[in-house]
Amino acid sequence: MAAVRASPRLRSLPLLLSQPDAAASVRRSFSCASASASASPASARAMASGAPSSAAPSPYTTLVGRVSCEREIKRSKFIAIAAPVPNERAAMAFLDEVFLHSLPAVKDPRATHNCWAYKLGEQFRYNDDGEPSSTAGKPIYSSIISSGIDMVMVVVIRYFGGIKLGTGGLVRAYGGVASECLKDAPTCLVKPKVIDVLTVYHMFFPLARAGMEVPFDLLGTVYHQLQHFQAEDIKQDYDTGKDGTVMVMFKVAYEKIEDLGNAVNSACSRKIELFL
């Protein structure tokens, strides 16, 4: 195995994750379809209600794709549309998309409500969009909780039919159509993928800075190996303090460091120390 040790001549690599909590970095790997993420002005209509943001439980159940259902209650038409969303931005993009698609109907004075709720792990929001307080968004959110589905948003569009439903009727209508929409929707189990701190570091810094103190007569052999292992940014420093040697500095992929050191030692038939 190639000898590897730290060299005072080379600057140490910066630490990407200096915060303790950053070492627990988690990236979700979705096996299901998700809504596209983009922000637009309609999201400004939302009123927030919920707990602080945190990661979703592991594992969790979410929708495979978008689903919808429609019900008529006392001449009012309710259309529920649900979709898997990986984050708040995607949720707001989905809301805007639903709103824009319903614009022709919104011009009809009877169609004035696009009520919604979403759940992203412990984070949630809901909105009544003009209906009496807690008669629309909250029942939709309650239906999400009851379904056991996570990382999801449900939007319910109401077309007023001329008959007032009252607060109790609205709660039952919005909650009922949202529950019906989620009841038989295709779902999948998502297992978040945890990436360790070293993997995250290599994602941002894929190349290691390293060096070798090489005798003049072996420079050609060492350079041949550096090219073979696709080393980059190769430099030389003749101020090594030793006659007949040069410090060769370079960058190489982390996963190739050990193999490079072994190959150099084998090709040179002697031990050439590799400094990091």
Per-residue pLDDT reduced to its tens digit, 132-189: 999 999 999 999 999 999 999 999 999 888 788 999 999 999 999 999 999 989 999 9
The architecture in CATH of the region 4-15+205-275 reads: 2-Layer Sandwich (3.30)
* pLDDT score for 106: 45
Cβ–Cβ under 8 Å, residues 17 and 200: yes
Q: Average pLDDT, stretch 74-100?
A: 90
Q: How far apart are CA 223 and CA 236, in angstroms?
A: 11
Statement: residue 271 has pLDDT above 50: yes
Q: Which of 95-109, 140-154, 244-258 has the lowest mean pLDDT?
A: 95-109
* pLDDT score for 20: 33
What's the gap between Cα 209 and its chain centre?
29
Between CA 181 and CA 187, with CA 182 as vertex, the angle to 5 degrees is 135
User: What is the dihedral angle through the alpha carbons of 185, 143, 53, 194, rounded to the nearest 10 degrees?
Assistant: -30
Q: Average pLDDT, stretch 58-75?
A: 90
Per-residue pLDDT reduced to its tens digit, 211-246: 999 999 999 999 999 999 988 889 998 888 888 899
Per domain, the residue ranges of the chain are 4-15+205-275, 26-190
In DSSP notation, 102-141 reads THHHHTSTT--EEEEEEEETTEEEEE-TTSSTTSSHHHHH
The answer for residues whose C-beta is within 8 angstroms of residue 168's C-beta and 6 or more apart is: none
pLDDT grade, residue 273 (50/70/90)? Answer: confident
* pLDDT score for 198: 64
* pLDDT score for 255: 84
* pLDDT score for 27: 29
pLDDT grade, residue 199 (50/70/90)? Answer: low
* pLDDT score for 172: 95
Residue position matching structure tokens 């080393």: 231
At the topology level, CATH places domain 26-190 in Ribosomal Protein S5; domain 2 (3.30.230)
pLDDT grade, residue 107 (50/70/90)? Answer: very low
The answer for residues whose C-beta is within 8 angstroms of residue 211's C-beta and 6 or more apart is: 7, 9, 10, 247, 248, 249, 250, 274, 275
Statement: residue 119 has pLDDT above 60: yes
Q: Average pLDDT, stretch 63-81?
A: 91
Q: Which of 12-16, 33-37, 174-178, 211-215 has the lowest mean pLDDT?
A: 12-16
> Of 44, 62, 87, nearest to 187 (Cα)?
62
Phi, psi of 28 (to 5 degrees): -80, 140
* pLDDT score for 93: 92
Q: Average pLDDT, stretch 109-116?
A: 74
Q: Average pLDDT, stretch 30-53?
A: 40
* pLDDT score for 182: 95
Statement: residue 12 has pLDDT above 50: no
- Count of alpha carbons within 13 angstroms of residue 121, beta-carbon side: 14
- Count of alpha carbons within 13 angstroms of residue 185, beta-carbon side: 31
